[in-house]
Structure 1
Amino acid sequence: MSPEIAQTQSTNIDPYQIIQITPNPDGSITRNSNWSKTPATPDPPHHIPVLSKDVIINQSTNVWVRIFLPRRQTLESSSSNNKLPLIVFYHGGGFVICSADLSAFHNFCLNMAVELQAVVVSVEYRLAPENRLPAAYDDAVEALHWIKATQEEWLTKYADFSKCFLMGSSAGGNIACHAGLRVATEVDNLLPLQIKGMILHQPFFGGVKRSSSELRLINDMVLPVCASDVLWDLSLPLGADRDHEYSNPTVEGGSKVVLDKIKSLGWKVMVTGCDGDPLVDRQTEVVKWMEQKGVQVVGHFAEGGFHGVEFVNPSKAEAMISQLKDFIFSSTPKLAA
């Protein structure tokens, strides 16, 4: 038995308990989480600095978005000079759990809207295993096409469509990456929406061969390797392994052409993570892969921490917001003027 397999089998952690799901005999799952949710507040009390509302964009798939608009913007001139950058956000959850209205994601998007003075559109996409990948990617791209054509006043009046960023956390970071790779070859079809960059926060990537950080943190209490394996088993196309391009974008394939396109478009990419996350080696590998292809990419990898730390640690969240602000302003010089 190889050391890798021995270490993989040494864990006594129940991955289903960690993910908070129960597998059913027919291959479906029951989601057991009771995490708090926050309703949208299109007309909140005056002490809440951000308006938010939900808009269904596809009734047949129940894909919807939650829009966050800084209250101050609604009181100022809506001239083009005062429009705000647009962040399209994809939530995490391993493609299998969570939703855009969870309090953790709602509060994170609210804080981004305030601190970055940006309009944030958080996308609720279909989950696996009921809808395996690429369903989430399809929904992510559909949301972009909805934004570009919408008559929704909060977007047409206050968002600067020429300063759009795709952002996601964990599985959402994976979705932002693959959505970006897909639309890079059809940017003219998204006009007037113009993507300036991608922000991949602790993106969920994988591979068949265990990385050093996965072996080092195999029994991590937040995201043990056995839980990642279950999430990939539930979300990848049937019969695919973790070296499928959805999980491991660095595998050889057609992505080189797309990265060349991203390079020529001048998109910038930011990847964030920490060495307390079992996925950190996957994330740094993606940074190196993009660097080798000539993409403008920057990695921010902190010491300590854990997967999703910014959603529970205010000081870590504040540091990340500062990095986001620098990245967005450097990618859109006019905003910094």
Structure 2
Amino acid sequence: MSDRTHVGILRNADGTYTRLFRFPSAPATSEPDVHPQVLSKDIIISPSNQTWLRIYLPREALDSSSITKLPLIVYYHGGGFVFMSAASTVTHSFCNELAAQTVAIVVSVEYRLAPEHRLPAAYDDAVEALHHIKATQDEWLTEYVDFSSCFLMGSSAGGNIAYHAGLRVAAAGSDDGLKPLKIKGLILHHPFFGGLERTGSELRLADGSVLTLAGCDGLWELSLPVDADRDHAFCNPKVCDGSGLFGRVRSLGWRVLVVGGFEDMLIDRQMEFAKMLEKQGICTVGHFGEGYHGMEVSEPSKAKELFLAIQRFTSS
């Protein structure tokens, strides 16, 4: 593979990689004066893989006299499988607001990045995180989470990860192996999918300011298994006959929320994906409107409508 500088990563002569984009990080905090509505802390999953969870606990759970427990949103961050972290400031800020505005406990997952760890490493970490959560003795989760009301959510590449993590759970035929954790649905926020055949929106918005067609191609080249093309099932959900898996998703009673923006070059893929799920008999909610790729993460002031849609979805 050639050096990939146009997606912000350089392959060094020794086979290592240097990321040219620096994303500032934010620590977890249990100090209420930092974010008066939400507390957060980190717990380790795998020291060898350097994977961990950041838990976001709404203060409402502590202050309320009610014994009602809160739904759980397991969140996978974006970054094209190659960039960012659960500790990135934009991810941290988004999860703070997600927990506060939806009144849910959010668990953000730190997973391994490509190209050092190509797919399916991120999917492996995503599912391992679910098993860690179901077995945890952390008091924030055991005391305040309604484990029967869990949703897998991701933005961009994280939406792709949430989808494939869900398929892995469904492939087992049931989610009994995750008890007491029970998944009720998937929330796919601007999910990152692709394919060899270009869509109309990819051609029309190929030179977008946030996400470009060349950039997408580069990220897939860095993250897919070596020698795989963009019609691999990890990238293109339409190429694999998943009817058996979709039948299991139906039997589990999961619902899927697909969110997309009309200024995102991936919008055609996202809408086609939602139609594919509907044709398979899966309860699918499409939430499509104005906006560019990952808008609500990069501009928190524009996230109000998204949070309302998520709250309606998780409480219905």
- Per the normalisation by structure 1, the TM-score is 0.89
Query: Which letter does structure 2 place at the counterpart of 1:298?
Result: V
Question: What code does the residue aligned with 1:250 have?
Answer: K
Contact 2:25 2:89 in 1 (8 A): yes
TM-superposed CA distance for 1:47, in Å, is 5.7
Residue equivalent to 1:152: 138
Q: 1:91 to 1:46 in 2, by over 3 A?
A: closer
User: Does the 8 Å contact 2:51/2:111 carry over to 1?
Assistant: yes
Q: Which aligned segments of 4 or more residues in structure 1 are displaced greater than 4 angstroms?
A: none
The answer to whether the 8 Å contact 1:91/1:168 transfers is: yes
Distance, in Å, in 2 between the alignment partners of 1:171 and 1:311 is: 13
Q: What is the CA distance between 1:256 and its match in structure 2?
A: 1.3
Partner of 2:26: 38
Conserved? CA contact 2:94–2:300, under 8 Å: no
Distance in 2 (alpha carbons) for counterparts of 1:47 and 1:163: 25
| In structure 1, C-alpha distance between the alignment counterparts of 2:154 and 2:210, rounded to whole Å | 19
Secondary structure of the residue aligned to 2:31 is coil
**Which residue in 2 is equivalent to 1:99?**
85
Q: Is the 8 A contact 1:90 1:176 kept in 2?
A: yes
| Separation in structure 2 between the aligned mates of residue 316 and residue 260 of structure 1, nearest angstrom | 36
Supply the distance in 2 between the matched residues of 1:314 and 1:75 (Cα, whole angstroms).
Answer: 25
- Contact map agreement 2:29 2:39 (CA 8 A) in 1: yes
Deviation of 1:45 after TM superposition, in Å, equals 2.0
The Cα offsets for residues 30-53 of structure 1, whole Å up to 9 and x where unpaired, read as 112222211000233276211100
Return the match for 1:83 from 55, 58, 69. Answer: 69
What amino acid sits opposite 1:288 in the alignment?
A: K
Of 192, 195, 198, the match for 1:204: 192
CA contact (8 A) 1:15 1:227 kept: no
Aligned position for 1:7: none
Structure 1 residue 312 and structure 2 residue 298: aligned?
yes
- In the TM superposition, 1:228-307 aligns within 5 A as 228-253=216-241, 255-303=242-290, 305-307=291-293
Change (3 A) 1:47 1:290: closer
CA–CA separation in structure 1 for the residues paired with 2:279 and 2:244: 13
Query: Which one-letter code corresponds to 1:141 in the other structure?
Result: V
Q: Residue 16 of structure 1 aligns to a residue in which SS?
A: coil
Residue 6 of structure 1: aligned partner? none
Report what 1:4 is aligned to.
none
Does 1:61 pair with 2:49? yes
Partner of 1:182: 168
Gaps of 5+ in 2: none
Distance 1:273 1:16, change over 3 A: farther
In structure 2, distance between residues paired with 1:15 and 1:61: 25
TM-score (norm 2): 0.95
**Residue 15 (structure 1) shift:** 7.2
Q: CA deviation at 1:22?
A: 2.0
- What is the alpha-carbon distance in structure 2 between the residues aligned to residue 57 and residue 252 of structure 1? 31
AA of the residue aligned to 2:107:
V
TM-align CA RMSD: 1.6
Superposed displacement of residue 301, structure 1:
1.1
SS in 2 for 1:251: coil
Listed as ranges, the gaps of 5+ residues in structure 1 are 1-13, 331-337
**Aligned-partner Cα distance in 2 for 1:188–1:151:** 19
Please give the alpha-carbon distance, in whole angstroms, between the structure 2 residues aligned to 1:22 and 1:302: 35
CA distance in 2, matches of 1:47, 1:34: 24
Percent of aligned pairs with the same amino acid: 56
SS in 2 for 1:278: coil
Q: Alignment partner for residue 5 of structure 2, among 5, 16, 35?
A: 16
Distance 1:168 1:209, change over 3 A: same
> Hey, what does 2:117 align to over in structure 1?
131
| Secondary structure at 2:72 match in 1 | strand
